[in-house]
Amino acid sequence: MLPKLRSVAPYAALFAAAVYLYRDAGAFAAAGRPGQLGPDVWPRAVLVLLMVVCGLAIVRRALFVAADNASPAASESDADSNATAQRYHGCLAGGIALTIAYVLALDWLGFFVSTVLYLALFMLVGRYRRARVIAAASVIGSLAFVFVFMKIVYVSLPLGRGPFKALSVWILAMLGVH
Amino acid sequence: MTEALHQLALGFLHLLTPANAASLVVGLVVGMLVAVLPGLTLVMGVVLALPFTYGMGVTSSIILLTAMYLSGTYGGAFTSILFRIPGEPLDVPLLWDGYPMARQGQPAQALGWTLLAAFWGGLITCVSAVVLAVPFAQFALRFDSPEYFAVVLLGLSGVVALGGASMANALISLCVGLLLATVGVDDTYGVDRFTFHVPILKDGVEYLTVMVGAYGLGEVLTRMEQGFASPAIETGRKVETRLPRWREIWPLRPTIGRSSLIGILCGIVPGAGATVGSFVAYGIEGQYGKRRAELGSGIPEGIVAPQVASTATVGGHMVPLLALGIPGSGATAVILGAFLLHGVQPGPQIFQTEAAMVYTIFASMFAAVFGMCLLGYFAIKPLIRVLQLPEAVTSAFVALFCFVGAYSARNSLTDLWMIVIFGVVGFLFERLRFPIAPMVLGCILGSIAETSFMTSMIAYQNDWTIFFTRPISGTVMVLTALALLYPAFRYVRRTMRSARTTATPA
């Protein structure tokens, strides 16, 4: 029962989201002109298609999944069993958390400091343990990014705030970026 | 035709400018590197290269991306044949005969056949692009909004039907992409749609962030969940290429001819592409090839057929992209993105307004074919050393490229949140077996589809039968229906075949 529920869950979630958005589309339906299709018609048509496909997928998986194992639409549980590699959920959670933290930190720490930390921690979370390679790759890599994007591509990367801004400006001066 | 050859000759001259020539060389090297590295896909590589093109001219940008695309269809062959690791899905059929040939002590011969096939596939695809593009564009000049809607619908249906994944999942992915394209202020009525009072959503969802997030960060997260556990590869072994002799090539004429045709057709049909072309060519060889019984044992036909077809798709893809502005694959969607970022809208008029640019791109494709073969012959040994880089290190830099690339487009930190969101969406899609390409193409083509649909409805008084009663759009709509029915036909045929096999006593 549980694998069946698990394989149905994504479609049910998408179906619910489609229903919610379909109702939300009513808010801008009123903007339409008489005799013309309104701005809600196209998104609602897409949402109806989404609901129909999700509905069919739910019915198919709930009722016929055992008889239909050979179909190209293998269930998630099949996908799981086919996967030969071990799954590292901790690595994944750490990677996502680190990525969110990186985006949050960019404005405060500036591009250079946050990138050095992000690269180093990402490699560690990714189960790589050679400290010298990590240190060298993250520092040299970050400097290379700063140089290429600020000196050559002319992208204004975030400098950070307070002392981090001063550090970023010093690094830019060292790299000849003015 | 004379005019086309004249323009092509001028294109070769324009290619000699330092910026264009440098783009070509860099594109070839990076494309091959991307294809060699198992953690990076060809589309992902092209997506990551896109931000570097912001500061370049439009011609140099397209040359860079097209060269990456072309050499990427060849580079993955090395890891497939030598290490049994396909760099790209399109390289999978190559290992069925390439790896056994290498195991039989003939790796140089296997690589030689691949080089020959990539060279031929590349040349034929360039010729087909030059020959077909202008007639295609002239035909497209007759298009009105119903025809555009029908063609876009065909493109989207092709991606759903031929994408190789579950059709339901592909349709869902497409719907998500089409919905993303509706977010923001509506073009016709100026009303907010699905913005939920969030200011950044008023500008809509940038398809660049969808592409970079879903393809780039999503793939990194997928590999991370697998613990970056690619097997260690010994790259110290001898990597050489021995070209086949003329008397060895001559008997393979039917294989080369069939596969070239399959490749070009798979390129022109939206949604098919290099992977489908590669598998179909191998399958056709298994059905009609002279040595079909030996296929899989390490024969040249098993290497030549998929490689010719996959490389031959590239020019085919460029034809609808340039003539109609409709990309048929993930990589051409990125190339369309590069055009739009530089303010150039591909379509039938481009052959009049930007002829010099178009033919310089064609000329660069010819040069890229020679360049990738030279690179494959002489420089593959150092290139293949990238396989020794730890995956956690390369993935960290790929993630960083995603962020910097997305940030460079508008210098906006909010775009980075979009990258994170679509990175997680991409990971979930990968995990739940929803293909990403329909979402990306839906996001790019959604606004074109909606605009042409709404314009048709306004122009023809809400008469929806107009899509079926006009000759061109009606024909295209029938093709769309066939494309959508094809997976059902395939499923029924497979079920009947398996029922017959079960009924037949062993």
Residue pLDDT, tens place only, B337-364 = 888 888 888 888 888 888 899 999 999 9
Kindly determine whether residue A46 and residue B182, on different chains, have CB atoms separated by under 8 Å.
Answer: yes
Pick the more confident residue, A19 or B491: A19
What does the pLDDT read at residue A76? Answer: 42
CA distances from B363 to B17, B67, B469 (A): 13, 11, 40
Q: Tell me the pLDDT band of B368, cut-offs 50, 70 and 90.
A: very high
Which among B213, B223, B317, B215 is positioned nearest to B265, based on CA atoms? Answer: B317
Interface test with A, best of B60, B175, B220 (most A CBs within 10 A): B175
Q: Tell me the pLDDT band of A78, cut-offs 50, 70 and 90.
A: very low
Q: What is the mean pLDDT of residues A93-119?
A: 95
Q: Which residue has the tokens 């869950």?
A: A9
Residue pLDDT, tens place only, B122-175 = 999 999 999 988 888 888 888 888 988 888 888 788 777 665 668 889 899 999
- Cβ-Cβ contacts under 8 Å, A114 against chain B: none
Pick the more confident residue, B488 or B346: B346
Alpha-carbon torsion B357, B342, B141, B207, what sign? positive
Pick the more confident residue, B393 or B200: B393
Residue pLDDT, tens place only, B374-388 = 988 887 777 667 667
Q: Is B184 helix (H, G, I), strand (E, B) or coil?
A: strand
Indicate the pairing of strand B184-185 with strand B192-193: antiparallel
- Cβ-Cβ contacts under 8 Å, B19 against chain A: none
- Cβ-Cβ contacts under 8 Å, B431 against chain A: 76, 79
Two tokens at B96? 């069925």
Q: Which residue has the tokens 């293909």?
A: B435
Query: For chain B, which residues make up each domain, given as ranges?
Result: 2-498
Q: Out of A20-24, B27-31, B188-192, B490-494, which region has the weakest mean confidence (pLDDT)?
A: B490-494
Kindly determine whether residue A56 and residue B168, on different chains, have CB atoms separated by under 8 Å.
Answer: yes
Residue pLDDT, tens place only, B215-226 = 889 988 998 998
What does the pLDDT read at residue B238? Answer: 62
Q: Judge whether B34 and B219 are in contact, CB under 8 Å.
A: no
CA distances from B471 to B143, B157, B316, B474 (A): 11, 19, 24, 5
Kindly determine whether residue A74 and residue B225, on different chains, have CB atoms separated by under 8 Å.
Answer: no
> Distance between CA B300 and CA B302 in Å, rounded?
5
What does the pLDDT read at residue A81? Answer: 45
Q: What is the mean pLDDT of residues B438-454?
A: 87
Kindly determine whether residue B172 and residue A14, on different chains, have CB atoms separated by under 8 Å.
Answer: yes
> Which residue spans within B207-338 are E strands per DSSP?
none
Q: Is B172 helix (H, G, I), strand (E, B) or coil?
A: helix
Q: Tell me the pLDDT band of B390, cut-offs 50, 70 and 90.
A: confident
Two tokens at A84? 């030969």
What percent of chain B shows pLDDT beyond 70?
Answer: 92
Q: What is the mean pLDDT of residues B323-342?
A: 83
Cβ-based burial of A66 (10 A; exposed 0-12, middle 13-18, buried ≥19): exposed
Task: Name the phi and psi angles at B401, rounded to 5.
Answer: -60, -40
- Looking at the predicted structure, is the pLDDT value of residue B233 above 70? no
- Looking at the predicted structure, is the pLDDT value of residue B431 above 50? yes
What does the pLDDT read at residue B409? Answer: 72
- Looking at the predicted structure, is the pLDDT value of residue B78 above 60? yes
What does the pLDDT read at residue B234? Answer: 55
Write the residue in A53, A95, A153 that is nearest to B172 by C-beta. Answer: A53
Which among B310, B309, B330, B333 is positioned nearest to B321, based on CA atoms? Answer: B333
Label residues A118-129 b or e (16+ Cβ within 10 Å = b): bbbbbbbbbbbe
Q: Judge whether B98 and B81 are in contact, CB under 8 Å.
A: yes
Write the residue in A74, A153, A156 that is nearest to B55 by C-beta. Answer: A153
> Distance between CA B458 and CA B472 in Å, rounded?
19
Two tokens at A150? 């600020």
What does the pLDDT read at residue B165? Answer: 62
Query: For chain A, which residues make up each domain, given as ranges?
Result: 2-82, 89-174
Task: Name the phi and psi angles at B192, rounded to 5.
Answer: -70, 135
Q: Judge whether B351 and B164 are in contact, CB under 8 Å.
A: no
Residue pLDDT, tens place only, A28-65 = 877 777 778 889 999 999 999 999 999 999 998 888 76
DSSP A151: I
Q: Tell me the pLDDT band of A73, cut-offs 50, 70 and 90.
A: very low
Two tokens at B254? 């039917």
CA distances from B408 to A1, A150, B64, B201, B444 (A): 48, 10, 18, 19, 19
Beta bridge partners of B478: none
> Distance between CA B59 and CA B339 in Å, rounded?
9
Residue pLDDT, tens place only, B275-321 = 778 888 888 888 788 888 888 888 999 999 999 999 998 888 888 88
Alpha-carbon torsion B421, B338, B267, B398, what sign? negative
Mean per-residue pLDDT of chain B: 85
- Looking at the predicted structure, is the pLDDT value of residue B96 above 50? yes
- Cβ-Cβ contacts under 8 Å, A133 against chain B: 390, 393
- Cβ-Cβ contacts under 8 Å, B397 against chain A: 119, 137, 141
Pick the more confident residue, B49 or A161: A161
Kindly determine whether residue B168 and residue A10, on different chains, have CB atoms separated by under 8 Å.
Answer: no
- Cβ-Cβ contacts under 8 Å, B227 against chain A: 85-88, 91, 126-127
Chain B: residue whose CA lies nearest to A77: B432
Kindly determine whether residue B420 and residue A99, on different chains, have CB atoms separated by under 8 Å.
Answer: yes
* DSSP codes joined into one string, B445-506: HHHHHHHHHHHHHHHTTT-TTHHHHSHHHHHHHHHHHHHHHHHHHHHHHHHHHHHHHHHS--
Write the residue in B393, B400, B454 that is nearest to A128 by C-beta. Answer: B393
What does the pLDDT read at residue A79? Answer: 44
Q: pTM for the whole thing? A: 0.80
Entry field: residues in chain B: 506
CB atoms inside a 10 Å sphere around CB A2: 7
Q: Tell me the pLDDT band of A82, cut-offs 50, 70 and 90.
A: very low
Contacts for A112 with CB less than 8 Å, ≥ 6 apart? A142, A143, A146, A167, A168, A171
Q: Tell me the pLDDT band of B259, cut-offs 50, 70 and 90.
A: very high
Distance from CA of A122 to the nearest CA of B (A): 6
- Cβ-Cβ contacts under 8 Å, B393 against chain A: 123, 128, 133-134, 137
Pick the more confident residue, A163 or B188: A163
> Distance between CA B456 and CA B464 in Å, rounded?
8
Beta bridge partners of B193: B184
Angle (CA) B482 A61 B215, round 5°: 65
Q: Which residue has the tokens 């969808």?
A: B210
